[in-house]
Each structure stands twice: as C-alpha cells, then as structure tokens.
Chains A and B, each alone.
Chain A
Amino acid sequence: MNLTLKIWRQKNASDKGKMVDYKVNDISPDMSFLEMLDVLNEQLVNNDESPVAFDHDCREGICGMCSLYINGEAHGPDRGITTCQLHMRMFKDGDTITIEPFRATAFPVVKDLIVDRSSFDRIQHAGGFISVNTSGNTIDANAIPVNKHDADKAFEAATCIGCGACVASCKNSSAMLFVGAKVSQFALLPQGQVEATDRVLNMVKQMDEEGFGNCTNTGACEVECPKGISLENIARMNREYLAASIKG
C-alpha cells in the first residue's frame, strides 16, 4: 500500500504547530498503525529529519498510551480498539490519512502527537481510590459478599484504561465517561461506600477545574471507547453526585 499521511507537527508545547504531508510506500496491510508510523520514522531519520513523536507502550491494546485521532476518530475507524490494534487493512492503497493528537484544553500537546493527560491522574488522586488498613489485620476483600450483578458492573467500569478517547471524541471535550467509570467501579462495591460522598464530589470538582467540558449526552464517548465503557456509568455518577451534594 502507498499512502499519503497528513500529520500534525508541533515542536513543543508553545509552538503553533501545523499539518505536514508525508508519503509512505510498500506498507503491508498486516502492519499495525503504529508499525506504519515506525516505517515513516525510519524514513525520516534516514533523511536526517525529525521523527514524528507519538505515545505508545504495550502495543497489546491494554495500556491506553497511543492517543491518536485518525481520519476524524479517536484510535481510527475501527471499534473497541486502541491505535496499536488498528491494522492497515482498514485502509486502501492510495488513501490519505489525517493523524492528529487528541484535542482538549485539558490535554495540552507536548510534542507532535503526544499530549499531556496528567489531568486524568489528578482526577484519580482527588478520589479514585479506597483506603484500606494495612497494619497487619487487613480483611480479605473476598470475605465481603458482593452481589454478582454489581460485581460485574464494577468490573466493567474498572476496565477503563484512561486513554482519553472519550474526551477526544466528545464535541465538548467532556471527561465524564472516564470519571463516571472511576466513580462507578467503587460506588458499586461495599469497599467503596466509606469514601463515596467525598469521592464523587472531589473527583467532579477536579474534573471541572481541569477545564473539561460539560457532557451533552451525544454518546460519542461510548462508541469510541476501546473498552466499551457504558453511558450508564455517567448516569450513575450523576446520581452519586446529586445525592452527595444534598448530603454535603
């Protein structure tokens, strides 16, 4: 496959940045999208040009590092995957592919296609945890009975890998699917009840302070989420937040 790539190039956080066109030839349809970018970078290095900076880590679809907006969609045109699991067979010979970083005020560009998603970390630090006494008399988590339905829902919420595709896809750059999942995974379990009120209030406060937008229920986040996190989690967070606000 011979392709034309339109890639966002930005030297650093303060650079204005621009789209630059590149050609890559002899791309195998069995390559992953990131391997195709590796080929481009090898080509650029051989020509003494600066390689395109992009995030990646596990390349197994579980770490959520590869934050690319491809042809107008987070992680590209396939469903239920991260960018490393997007394969070139999804494209045709002669295609022009537009590659941009995830765009959100709360995800500032560091370089080229790499964005700073530490705003997600700060939301987690605000309440995405439970406190457990580890002084020697820790109670085994399995000793507390958990309703199977709730356990399954909590597990589904906990599969969120924090990649940020929800924010990137949302027309409002809202982080509510991410925060909804992180609130839900604890709210559904008995271990999460002790800090439930503070958790949701603090996480939503931090989310708002980071500059994410307001959810308008377009559902784009759910469609583009590589882990299929459900909108139910946003509704649950809304209920938790309203109850916590009344409780104070």
Chain B
Amino acid sequence: MSGILNSSIGRKFAMALSALFLMIFLLQHFAINLLSVFSADTFNEVSHFMGTFWAVQYVMQPVLIFGVIFHFVMGFVLELKNNKARQVSYAKNNGAANSSWMSRNMIWSGLAILAFIVLHFIDFWIPEINTKYIVGDMSGLHNGEFRYFHELVEKFHSPLRVGAYVIAFIFLALHLLHGFNSAFQSVGANNKYTKGMKTFSKVYAIGIPLGFIFIALFHHLTGH
C-alpha cells in the first residue's frame, strides 16, 4: 500500500476520489442555494445552521478545503507529468477525431473554475470568516434580521458579476461532462452500468451548473 500515490494509477484513483467528493459537495451546495429561490426565511435558517454548526465549520469545512486544494494541486502535478511524457509535439494532431474537446482541455476548464473559486471566496467566504471569527459576531444578524439572503441578493445586482458566474458555470459543465464519468472509470467501475452512468453524468453535468445559473439570474432579474 505504501507509495500508492507515487504510482500513475494511485494518482488517478486519488484524483477520482477527490472529484467524487467535490461532486457530492456541489449537489449539497446547489440544494441549499435553490432554497433562496423559494423561501428567504428557509434559506436564512439553513445558512445560519451551516455557518454555525461545529461539525460543518470545524470538520466538514476543513475537509472540503483540503479536497479542493488536493484536486487542483494533483491536477497540475498530473498535467506537468503528462507534458513531460511527450517532449516533441506533433506537427499535425487531429485530437477531435478521437476524443471530446472537454476531455482534452480539463486543465483549462479547471483553471477557469479555480479563477471562479477565488472570486467566490472574495465575494462570500472571506467576508463570512471575517464576520464570524475575526469580528466575532456569530449571531448571523444585521439590523435585527438574518443577513444571509440579503447578502446573496446584493451580490447578484452587478451584471458583471452575474456574467462572470454564468461563464464559470459553463466551464464547470464542460469540466463535469468529462470528469464525472471519468472518475468512475478511474476507480475501476466500467461495467454493465456504465451506459446508464454516462447518461446520468450528462444530466448532472448540465443540470447542476444550469441550476446555479438559474439561481444567479433569478436574483439578478427579480432583485430579491
């Protein structure tokens, strides 16, 4: 078992496990965000719970941050190693003849998502950490009311930010269109269920980012 991460298959496996973990997180994030469309009060209550419950804050949040960092760092490590495996490029290469654009450009869609995460952290995560752990205000209140829904709506006033979010989610969809099913192949799951999984992966890869785009546009267009 020792040194498994030093092997090509071990690294693939670790990459796939972190991807599967992040996809489960994404589903949970989407479900909570979707509440903001239906009920500001429910969204506030769930957000307050997630923002203050110790298991979420001190166990799940660090695991998530580790998962995100691990996935990106391993992605870059693999990209650099793979580039070394072909030091002289082809004068003419017809990649489109045998593979999808998404599968050949995971590093670029991944970099676009990384850029989005930086913006997302600046928008939400850093102010949240600042309010709770630097200022020390764990109440979740602003002027006597829960602040979460108002903060969300306020962020989606700017058409530039909404545009950036929409573009980022398109890249997320492209990333997932290859990544979702690829993760299953990497952990060795290629069997009679693969055809069904491929269909499910397309539904997830398009449905979830489209849902996030809907939420951003909903708040931008309705203003609440």
Contacts and interface: CB of A to CB of B under 8 A. Distances in A.
Contact of A224 (B84, B98, B178): B98
Interface string B38-52: 000000000000000
A118 interface: no
Interface residues of B, number: 41
Interface stretch (B23-31, B64-72, B157-165, B186-194): B186-194
B8 A214 contact: yes
Q: How large is the interface on A (under 10, 10 to 19, 20 to 34, 35 or more residues)?
A: 35 or more
Chain A interface main SS type: mixed
A247 B103 CA distance: 32
Interface in A171-187: 171-174, 176
B211 interface: no
A98 to B, nearest CB: 4
Contact of A218 (B87, B89, B104): B104
Interface stretch (A24-32, A54-62, A128-136, A233-241): A233-241
A216 B86 contact: no
A213 B65 CA distance: 28
Nearest to B183: A217
A95 B113 CA distance: 41
A171 B191 CA distance: 25
A245 B11 CA distance: 13
A50 interface: no
Nearest to A230: B190
B99 A172 contact: no
Contacts of B10: 241, 245
Contacts of A239: 188
Interface stretch (A35-43, A81-89, A139-147, A203-211): A203-211
Interface of B: 1, 4, 7-13, 78, 81-82, 84-95, 97-100, 103-104, 106, 178, 181-182, 185-191
User: Which 8 A-B pairs give the minimum distances between C-beta atoms?
Assistant: A72-B94, A213-B85, A235-B190, A239-B188, A172-B82, A223-B98, A173-B85, A218-B103
Interface of A: 6, 8, 19, 69, 71-73, 77, 98, 100, 103-106, 169, 171-174, 176, 204-205, 207-208, 211-220, 223-224, 231-232, 234-239, 241-242, 245-246, 248
